Amino acid sequence: MSDTKATFEKHLPEKIATNPDKMKEIGATFLFTITGDGGGVWTVDLKDDVGVKEGDEGSADCTIECSSEDFESLIKNPAAGMQLFFSGKLKVGGNAMLATKLQQIL
């Protein structure tokens, strides 16, 4: 299993399960589109049905798109997000301010 896939299928659900009430305080739904090896599409719901689901579950409040390589960089160093964004390697749609809350969950 690639690191990206493991993040969405194992690590992130475990982190959410440890404190679902805190995650629900974020109150948003994120759609991640990760390209390249181990990529895919995942919905992270921190609003209604808290959890991680593979695929596009509908209207996300914030969309994140990047390569699996850049996503791994983001996981290892969340502060790299701004650099990736300004270099055009990380695309954010919808309510971009919600992307700043990703450090709390990643």
**pLDDT tens readout for residues 33-75:** 999 988 999 999 999 889 999 999 888 999 999 999 999 998 8
pLDDT above 90 for 2: no
Kindly state whether residue 73 falls inside one of the protein's structural domains: yes
Domain count, the chain: 1
Is residue 1 very low, low, confident or very high in pLDDT (cuts 50, 70, 90)?
low
How far apart (Å, rounded) are the C-alpha atoms in residues 16 and 42? 15
Kindly state whether residue 45 falls inside one of the protein's structural domains: yes
**pLDDT tens readout for residues 13-37:** 999 999 888 898 999 999 999 999 8
For residue 62, the tally of other CB atoms under 10 A from its CB is 21
For residue 26, the tally of other CB atoms under 10 A from its CB is 18
* Boundaries of domain holding 79: 3-99
- pTM (whole model) above 0.85: yes
Kindly state whether residue 104 falls inside one of the protein's structural domains: no
